[in-house]
């Protein structure tokens, strides 16, 4: 339970930090913000790797892990690349 | 590698994500922020691959190579006008990843080697602390259930949003009973979640939960129209982050919780900004229609005999004597792929010493910041793109406003006609300028279904036709003067 309370505290504090950070993002960057956060949410890849790479689990778990790795990798690779592509177009005169 | 070291490295990854988003608060630091964020991702992935539990690389390599190829193909090929579709898909995949992780975690504890679907449904013998002792087990099960619910809703909802944005699904159909039907689905899903927590040894509870959540995602987004998509995409963005954070609770993984909650708040804040810009509540966007007008407004009465149309070369003559011009783009500019033509017109005006700026309404286009990305692609410097609150006071000193493909966000009824469905919505006050040029295919109403009195004003000229063609003709005419 102690660990759970710590995780909950981390969650709540991260929410507050998120609000403080995101309100400072100017509207002109809202689309890259969305694609960039899509890439960040691909961090689920970490959990996906554990499920897909386990040797002791039933086949079903590995298959679900494979799907999770695929989804999350699309987000990581697609998200960062497209965000970079967009951001490199934003130029000041 | 010891768990302590692994967790410390996850912490570093989390810090890099935070610095990455901080970089996005300024266009000049944004590229570097994105790189820092991707570095965080890289070290988190590498340290996980070195984990002793990861021994079977077949599925990892297959999924990783396939996912990377699809992701890279999408990212490098997508047109900037289709960016809302891309983000909708990424939201969906984020939800899908969390959904499948929660299912994998559940079935790895169940540990049945089922050869058929029927075998999977047979209840298994499970020790009472299989998911953790006492309250901890219940929290894990609740996290698994919520991750499945939100992940599945995000996955299907985003695919529907993608289909709508792509023009594959034009009908806005809902369940009979509308919100009540959705509420029933949600209630069913919550009951299935409760059953999962009470009897985790029965896989049928999880499978029912998945099915109901998938249906809920479908019927939540199906009834919502195209112009409300900015809100829907932002909300699904938030859900995908929330699902990732919940998956972090299942795995006890700190970096998932940090990253997921950052994404969750980002989506939520964007949702709120979009709702404020439309003067509608979130509930109204998700479950309501635009409020029916008190009395039916007759478009003919507003337009009859009062609309003046003009040719592009007449507009060019007007621009030639202007000192300050503001361009107001909308979704129509994206549809006509006119952003490059618009930039060329602006270049031509600037070479004559005319001051040109762009007025951007928060909900112009199909996602937050859509117009900014399109104009950035056309190499318009970002300091020329001015937000609504800062551009509005300048319209009185503006000689010509060119409205291209925007409608409702310029409708003065939002300011003046109390009782009108859009009354109170913040708009760009283009009617305060000395002259207004509206480039539009016809006098057809926008998403709100309302006539726009702006079109009938004495100082407004309508240029009918394709946006790109009209702008190109204006540029040509201006260059010949």
By the 8 A CB rule, do B31 and A84 touch? yes
Domain count of chain B?
Answer: 2
Give the confidence band of B177 by pLDDT, cuts at 50, 70, 90. Answer: low
Domain end position, chosen among B239, B262, B287: B287
pLDDT surpassing 80 at residue A13: yes
pLDDT of residue B224: 87
Residues B307 and B261 in one domain: no
For residue A85, give how far its alpha carbon lies from the nearest alpha carbon of chain B (Å).
8
Nearest C-alpha in A relative to B362? A27
Nearest C-alpha in A relative to B261? A15
Residues B341 and B409 in one domain: yes
Give the confidence band of B293 by pLDDT, cuts at 50, 70, 90. Answer: very low
Residues B309 and B445 in one domain: yes
Helices A45-52/B83-110 angle, 10° precision:
40
Q: Do B24 and A29 make contact, defined as CB atoms within 8 angstroms?
A: yes
What kind and span of H or E run contains B327? Answer: strand B324-329
Residues B243 and B330 in one domain: no
Residues B220 and B86 in one domain: yes
Task: Using a CB–CB cutoff of 8 Å, tell me whether B387 touches chain A.
Answer: yes
Mean pLDDT of chain B: 91
Residues B121 and B215 in one domain: yes
Instruction: Identify the weakest region by mean pLDDT among B156-165, B242-251, B292-301.
Output: B292-301
More confident residue, B416 or B115: B416
pLDDT surpassing 80 at residue B169: no
**Nearest-CB residue to A76 (from B22, B41, B373):** B41
Distance of CA B427 to CAs B239, B360, B381, B409, Å?
A: 29, 10, 24, 5
Within 8 A of B98 by CB-CB distance, chain A residues are 44
**Nearest-CB residue to B87 (from A38, A54, A69):** A38
CA distance B7 to B265: 24
What kind and span of H or E run contains B464? Answer: strand B460-464
Q: Do B30 and A28 make contact, defined as CB atoms within 8 angstroms?
A: no
- Which among B112, B109, B167 has a CA at the least distance from the CA of B140? B109
CA distance B361 to A66: 42
pLDDT of residue B290: 47
| Chosen from B93, B130, B148, B158 to mutate, greatest number of chain A CBs within 10 A | B93
Task: Using a CB–CB cutoff of 8 Å, tell me whether B338 touches chain A.
Answer: no
**Could you report the per-residue pLDDT of B90-146, keeping only the tens digit for each?**
999 999 999 999 999 999 998 887 778 888 888 888 888 888 888 889 999 999 999
Q: Do A69 and B68 make contact, defined as CB atoms within 8 angstroms?
A: no
- Flag whether B317 is in a domain: yes
- Flag whether B49 is in a domain: no
Instruction: Identify the weakest region by mean pLDDT among B185-194, B220-229, B334-343, B392-401.
Output: B220-229
Residues B270 and B308 in one domain: no
Q: What is the mean pLDDT of residues B193-205?
A: 94
What are the percentages of helix, strand and coil residues in chain B, rounded to 5? 65, 5, 30
Within 8 A of B122 by CB-CB distance, chain A residues are none
pLDDT surpassing 50 at residue B291: no
CA distance B57 to B114: 22
- Flag whether B392 is in a domain: yes
- Flag whether B241 is in a domain: yes
Q: Is B6 exposed, middle or buried (0-12, 13-18, 19+ CB in 10 A)?
A: middle
Nearest C-alpha in A relative to B250? A47
For chains A and B, count residue pairs whose Cβ atoms are closer than 8 Å. 383
Residues B412 and B461 in one domain: yes
Q: Do B373 and A71 make contact, defined as CB atoms within 8 angstroms?
A: no
Nearest C-alpha in A relative to B257? A11
**Could you report the per-residue pLDDT of A23-81, keeping only the tens digit for each?**
999 999 999 999 999 999 999 999 999 889 888 888 899 999 999 999 999 999 999 99
DSSP, collapsed to helix, strand or coil, labels residue B151 as helix
A73-82, B116-125, B302-311, B409-418: which is most confident: A73-82
Partners of residue B436 on adjacent β-strands: B401, B460
Domain end position, chosen among B287, B315, B341: B287
pLDDT of residue B473: 96
Q: Do A71 and B139 make contact, defined as CB atoms within 8 angstroms?
A: no
pLDDT surpassing 80 at residue B296: no
- Which among B78, B204, B196 has a CA at the least distance from the CA of B140? B196
Residues B329 and B283 in one domain: no
- Flag whether B70 is in a domain: no
**Could you report the per-residue pLDDT of B313-369, keeping only the tens digit for each?**
999 999 999 999 999 999 999 989 999 999 999 999 999 999 999 999 999 988 999
Q: Do A73 and B64 make contact, defined as CB atoms within 8 angstroms?
A: yes
By the 8 A CB rule, do A93 and B90 touch? no
Within 8 A of A5 by CB-CB distance, chain B residues are none
Residues B279 and B320 in one domain: no
Residues B259 and B340 in one domain: no
pLDDT of residue B2: 84
- Flag whether B52 is in a domain: no
- Which among A88, A42, A30 has a CA at the least distance from the CA of B97? A42
- Which among B220, B242, B245, B247 has a CA at the least distance from the CA of B231? B220
Residues B270 and B351 in one domain: no
First to last CA, chain B: 73
What kind and span of H or E run contains B480? Answer: helix B467-480
By the 8 A CB rule, do B356 and B327 touch? yes
- Flag whether B71 is in a domain: no
**Nearest-CB residue to B60 (from A11, A53, A82):** A53
Q: Please give the residue range of the domain that contains residue B166.
A: 80-287
Residue B366's Cβ-side half-sphere holds a number of Cα atoms within 13 Å equal to 25
- Flag whether B42 is in a domain: no
Catalytic residue IDs of B: 408
């Amino acid at each position: 339970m102690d660990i759970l309370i710590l995780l909950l505290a981390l969650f709540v504090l991260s929410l507050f930090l998120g609000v403080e950070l995101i309100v400072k993002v100017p509207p002109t960057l809202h689309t890259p913000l969305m694609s960039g956060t899509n890439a960040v949410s691909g961090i689920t890849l970490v959990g996906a790797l554990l499920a897909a790479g386990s040797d002791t689990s039933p086949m079903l778990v590995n298959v679900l892990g494979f799907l999770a790795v695929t989804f999350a990798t699309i987000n990581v690779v697609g998200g960062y690349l497209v965000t970079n592509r967009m951001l490199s177009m934003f130029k000041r005169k | 590698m010891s768990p302590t070291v692994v967790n410390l490295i996850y912490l570093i990854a989390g810090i890099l994500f935070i610095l990455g988003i901080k970089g996005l608060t300024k266009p000049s630091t944004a590229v570097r922020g994105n790189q820092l964020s991707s570095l965080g991702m890289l070290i988190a992935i590498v340290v996980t691959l070195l984990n002793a539990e990861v021994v079977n690389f077949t599925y990892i390599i297959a999924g990783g190579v396939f996912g990377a190829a699809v992701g890279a193909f999408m990212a490098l090929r997508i047109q900037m006008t289709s960016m809302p579709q891309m983000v909708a898909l990424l939201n969906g995949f984020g939800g899908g990843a969390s959904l499948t992780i929660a299912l994998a975690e559940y079935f790895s504890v169940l540990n049945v080697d089922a050869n058929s679907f029927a075998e999977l449904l047979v209840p298994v013998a499970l020790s009472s602390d299989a998911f953790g002792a006492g309250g901890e087990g219940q929290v894990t099960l609740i996290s698994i259930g919520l991750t499945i619910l939100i992940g599945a809703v995000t996955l299907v909802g985003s695919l529907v949003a993608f289909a709508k944005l792509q023009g594959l699904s034009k009908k806005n159909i809902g369940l009979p009973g509308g919100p009540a039907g959705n509420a029933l689905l949600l209630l069913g899903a919550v009951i299935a979640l409760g059953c999962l927590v009470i009897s985790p040894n029965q896989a049928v509870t999880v499978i029912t939960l998945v099915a109901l959540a998938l249906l809920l995602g479908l019927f939540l987004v199906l009834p919502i129209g195209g112009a409300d998509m900015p809100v829907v995409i932002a909300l699904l963005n938030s859900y995908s982050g929330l699902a990732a954070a919940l998956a972090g609770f299942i795995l006890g993984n700190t970096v998932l919780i940090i990253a997921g909650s950052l994404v969750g708040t980002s989506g939520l804040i964007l949702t709120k900004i979009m709702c404020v810009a439309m003067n509608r509540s979130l509930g109204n966007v998700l479950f309501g229609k635009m409020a029916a007008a008190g009395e039916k407004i007759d478009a003919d009465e507003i337009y009859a005999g009062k609309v003046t149309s003009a040719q592009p070369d007449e507009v060019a003559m007007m621009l030639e004597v202007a000192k300050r011009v503001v361009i107001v783009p909308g979704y129509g500019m994206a549809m006509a792929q006119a952003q490059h033509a618009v930039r060329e017109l602006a270049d031509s005006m600037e070479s004559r010493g005319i001051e040109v700026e762009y007025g951007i309404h928060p909900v112009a286009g199909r996602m937050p910041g859509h117009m900014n990305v399109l104009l950035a692609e056309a190499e318009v410097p970002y300091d020329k793109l001015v937000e609504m609150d800062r551009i509005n006071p300048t319209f009185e000193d503006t000689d010509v406003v060119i409205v291209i493909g925007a409608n409702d966000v310029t409708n003065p009824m939002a300011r003046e006609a109390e009782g009108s469905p859009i009354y109170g919505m913040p708009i760009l006050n283009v009617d305060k300028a000395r002259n207004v040029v509206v480039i539009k295919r016809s006098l057809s109403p926008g998403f709100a279904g309302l006539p726009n009195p702006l079109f009938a004003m004495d100082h407004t000229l309508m240029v009918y036709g394709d946006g790109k063609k009209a702008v190109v003709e204006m540029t040509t005419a201006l260059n010949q003067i």
